[in-house]
Amino acid sequence: MKKKDIQTDVLIIGGGTAGSYAAITLGKHAELSVLVAEKANIQRSGCLAAGVNALNAYITQGHTPQDYVDYATNDAEGIVRPDLLLSLSQRLNSVSADLERRGLVILKDENGKYVSRGWRNIKINGENIKPLLASGVREQKNVRVINHLNITDLETVFDADGKRRAVGAFGFDVNDGSFYHIKARAILMATGGAAGLYRPNNPGFSRHKMWYSPFNTGAGYAMGLLAGAEMTSFEMRFIALRCKDTIAPTGTIAQGVGAKQVNANGDVYETKYGIKTSERCWGTVEENRAGRGPCYLATKGLSREAEQDLYKAYLNMAPSQTLTWLEKGIGPADENVEVEGTEPYIVGGHTASGFWVDNGRASTVRGLFASGDVAGGAPQKYVTGALAEGEIAAESIVAFLAEAGANSLPDASDSAACTNIYAEYKSHFRMEKHKDGQISFSAEQLEESMQKIMDEYAGGISTGYRYNESRLVVAAEKIRELQGLVPRIPASCADDLLRIYELRERLIVCQALIAHMRERKETRWHSFGEHADYPQKTEDGLCYINSVYKDGDVQIIHRPLVKNGERYEHQH
């Protein structure tokens, strides 16, 4: 493995929505050198790779940022950081306007006003949204992008006061296997959430036809945990209600044409269970359990004009749904759309899971910041919220570096951690398939085992998302067993090594997730956290469940809620 050493002022890990916008923001500071490390190619990477047909977080006329805070707080049953929500809500419209200036098509009515879809989102033609952001990054003269660079571990040191500080990162080129040691004065974690932890809806060849990007493995969470950063609210899983088989979004139908959720008898059931995000999924599960399924979105009888609008909308983000209608020769105007819940995900763009951050999006590790799907505390941020957090984090990093001084670049010499990570990478290439009588496994085999364990013992699709203490104990034991097998996976190329580290990341997130689920002894969010031993909400549950990773174990921390109007800041 060729070794490459790089020094930079700011390292951005992940070139998705938040990472790209942070890079654009930092481009205004020509004195800073910025490096974006992207596992894929920034042109079409992240959750926006295929496009999107609406900006789901926007403050429409007659509403305020506080309205959005109140909506997200209510939807998450109070377990949010209102200070984080307010700070991003105040920027939703300005980042949207900036996207339009960059070439994004935002639909307008005959009066020149944005076409809204409900009170908090607007319609767009967003198939090119990621290329527009990537173009904005490439325009910045002080920003360098390295595509196909997979970062696996952070490098940290302890300052004189005993506090941990991030000073660099390690990774490898997913094509040629080159080893990278990057030294940085500040690091922004802007990777995605975690998909692929649970067995998905579709098996075999189609298993990656899922709601959330299958390439988002929880890498940022895993790196943060290993580096000692505090995490929050992993137990607030996200389960999407989606069109059956295609796993296409349902909000386009429910909000776009006002379709109600109905059971096989034609009864509207969404009013029975509630219309919060988790309740829409829970009601579908319960109706199916009661024998009143399948469940649908009632589109039959739509006008042909509305049907054509749905065809076009899905071509912007989930073409398989439009193709399915066309192949069958039966569209949503003639047949209701069947719906189902996906497997659970950990994603801070929809729930509150992620890094525990302050208002500048600084983590509990000095010099390490987080934004977008990997940052916790602010659910329902969606695309524009991720942009806003990228901007906030970038501004905070500029202030942090100014305070640290120009000479705060860490020593570029190799550390013990560098030697160890390099040796760990190489060990997988030197490994034989059968060594000392031990049978090795492939990353794919262990991934399937992990997904089966999480599905059956940690509240997956097969159990109606329910779990209990005894099953979680079994899940924890089995996940630890799989973690012990990861060092024995051989690699014949850099792509094999990528799969091994993606598995390692997912297993670490599973370990933390199970610990969080065991700690929240209530059911605060139906289906998202359906604890069979504790089926009701409790007053004791009004707290944040946080965690740190130490010596291979997850240690739980309870933190009191930050109330509306308050601001939380770290006490470093």
pTM above 0.85, yes or no: yes
Query: Which tokens belong to 111?
Result: 């009066």
Q: Provide the residue count of the chain.
A: 572
Count of other CB atoms within 10 angstroms of residue 309: 16
In the beta sheet, which residues pair with residue 158?
Answer: 164
> Is a pLDDT exceeding 70 seen at residue 542?
yes
Instruction: Give the whole-angstrom CA distance, residue 467 versus residue 469.
Output: 7
Report, as an integer, the average pLDDT of 155-174. Answer: 95
Measured distance CA(189)–CA(192) in Å, rounded: 9
Which pairs from 288-292 meet CB under 8 Å and 24+ separation?
289/464, 292/263, 292/264, 292/265, 292/267
Residue type, 461: I
Q: Which amino acid is at 259?
A: A
pLDDT at 323: 95
What distances in angstroms separate CA 151 from CA 121, 184, 188, 317, 421, one per listed residue?
A: 34, 13, 12, 28, 11
Residue-level pLDDT at 431: 72
Distance CA 117, CA 255 (A): 6
Q: What is the mean pLDDT of residues 307-318?
A: 88
- State the Cα–Cα distance between residues 243 and 168, nearest whole angstrom: 42
pLDDT of residue 316: 75
User: Comparing C-alpha atoms, which of 356, 488, 370 is closest to residue 427?
Assistant: 488
Closest CA to 372 of 191, 124, 153: 191
Given this model, what pLDDT does residue 463 score?
97
Give exposure, 39-52, as e/b (b: 16+ Cβ within 10 Å): bbebbebbbbbebb
Q: What is the separation, in whole angstroms, between the first and last Cα of the chain?
A: 38
Q: Could you report the per-residue pLDDT of 475-515, keeping only the tens digit for each?
A: 999 999 999 999 999 999 999 999 999 999 999 999 999 99
Give the mean pLDDT of 343-359: 97
Residue 440 or 384, more confident: 384
Q: Is the dihedral of CA 250, 254, 259, 261 positive or negative?
A: positive
Query: Residue 408's pLDDT is what?
Result: 66
